[in-house]
């Protein structure tokens, strides 16, 4: 018996809540894992012994309160529900839990719901759910740390090409390939020109790889709408943060979250809708 599309989408939304809970772990731990890896490599190059630390990855140690060290029990880690029951506070010490945790879960759940609602419980629907999860993680990691880890951007790029080859997206493989090439090359050229003129680095290589991944998923034709929307939103947010004294040291705003937001907009509404939204 076939399950109705509405039930499929609902189940996908629930799965998205669970994935969003895991993404909170990825967002917090992956940058620290990379920093530890870099520190170990530097110590090895310098011929000094690396500092011994406890096992730290996406699974170990178990999640705990950063203030008191209380190990979070499984029933305290139910997406959204546990946050509401605990009233946004640690059950042991009462320290506030950031609202961002349930928001990441909710956003991921909604994106999974929309993906399966549009593409159905199909390989295409699963592919776009994976795309959404990767984009959410990248956006939050870049906002926190100004890092766009290769551990996510490169698999995302390859997944876009594979999805195109398997016809899980509406993008022909040739368009996906040239989208990846044009996405990387275009921002690399802008980076080089900006650095030549100002002596400063306007963005990082992670932005090139993320834009290349978006080109693989949407094709080269979508690159202009995506970069325009990311630039407009980035400029508006940057100006607002400047007037509110919200800019971090150095007066910059990471570009990755705005690329990610434009990518999700293109997924939900289509790349052409972006041009209409910004009046072009």
* Pair 217, 165: CB distance under 8 Å: no
Q: Which two tokens stand for residue 222?
A: 């979508």
Global pTM? 0.91
Is 128 domain-assigned?
no
Instruction: Point out the domain boundary residue: 121, 154, 174.
Output: 121
Element holding 19 (H helix, E strand): helix 5-46
Q: Which two tokens stand for residue 219?
A: 């094709």
Is 92 domain-assigned?
yes
Quickly count: other Cβ atoms within 10 Å of residue 98's Cβ.
11
Domain encompassing residue 208: 146-280
Phi, psi for residue 176 in degrees, rounded to 5:
-65, -40
Please indicate, yes or no, whether residues 69 and 151 belong to a single structural domain of this protein.
no
Tell me if residue 85 falls in helix, strand or coil: helix
Please indicate, yes or no, whether residues 173 and 80 belong to a single structural domain of this protein.
no
Is 70 domain-assigned?
yes
- Number of separate domains in the chain: 2
pLDDT in tens, 88-146: 888 888 888 889 999 999 999 999 999 999 999 999 999 999 999 999 999 999 999 99
pLDDT in tens, 99-114: 999 999 999 999 999 9
pLDDT in tens, 56-88: 888 888 888 888 878 888 888 889 999 999 888
Please indicate, yes or no, whether residues 103 and 153 belong to a single structural domain of this protein.
no
Q: Which DSSP state fits 248?
A: P
């Amino acid at each position: 018996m076939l399950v109705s599309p509405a039930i499929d989408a609902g189940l996908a939304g629930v799965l998205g809540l669970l994935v969003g809970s895991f993404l909170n772990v990825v967002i917090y731990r992956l940058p620290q894992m990379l920093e530890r890896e870099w520190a170990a490599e530097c110590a090895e190059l310098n011929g000094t012994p690396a500092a011994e630390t406890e096992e730290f990855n996406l699974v170990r140690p178990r999640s705990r309160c950063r203030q008191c060290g209380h190990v979070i029990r499984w029933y305290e880690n139910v997406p959204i529900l546990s946050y509401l029951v605990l009233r946004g506070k640690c059950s042991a010490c009462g320290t506030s839990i950031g609202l961002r945790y349930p928001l990441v879960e909710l956003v991921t759940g909604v994106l999974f719901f929309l993906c399966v609602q549009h593409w159905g419980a199909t390989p295409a629907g699963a592919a776009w759910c994976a795309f959404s999860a990767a984009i959410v993680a990248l956006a939050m990691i870049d906002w926190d740390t100004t890092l766009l880890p290769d551990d996510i951007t490169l698999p995302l790029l390859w997944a876009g090409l594979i999805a195109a080859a398997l016809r899980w997206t509406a993008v022909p493989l040739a368009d996906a390939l040239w989208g990846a090439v044009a996405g990387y090359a275009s921002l690399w050229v802008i980076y080089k020109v900006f650095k030549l003129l100002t002596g400063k680095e306007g963005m990082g290589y992670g932005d090139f790889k993320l834009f290349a991944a978006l080109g693989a998923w949407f094709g080269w034709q979508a690159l202009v709408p995506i970069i325009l929307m990311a630039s407009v939103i980035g400029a508006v947010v940057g100006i607002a943060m400047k007037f509110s004294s919200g800019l971090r040291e150095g007066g910059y705003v990471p570009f990755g979250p705005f690329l990610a937001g434009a990518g999700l907009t293109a997924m939900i509404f289509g790349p052409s809708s972006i041009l209409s939204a910004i009046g072009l």
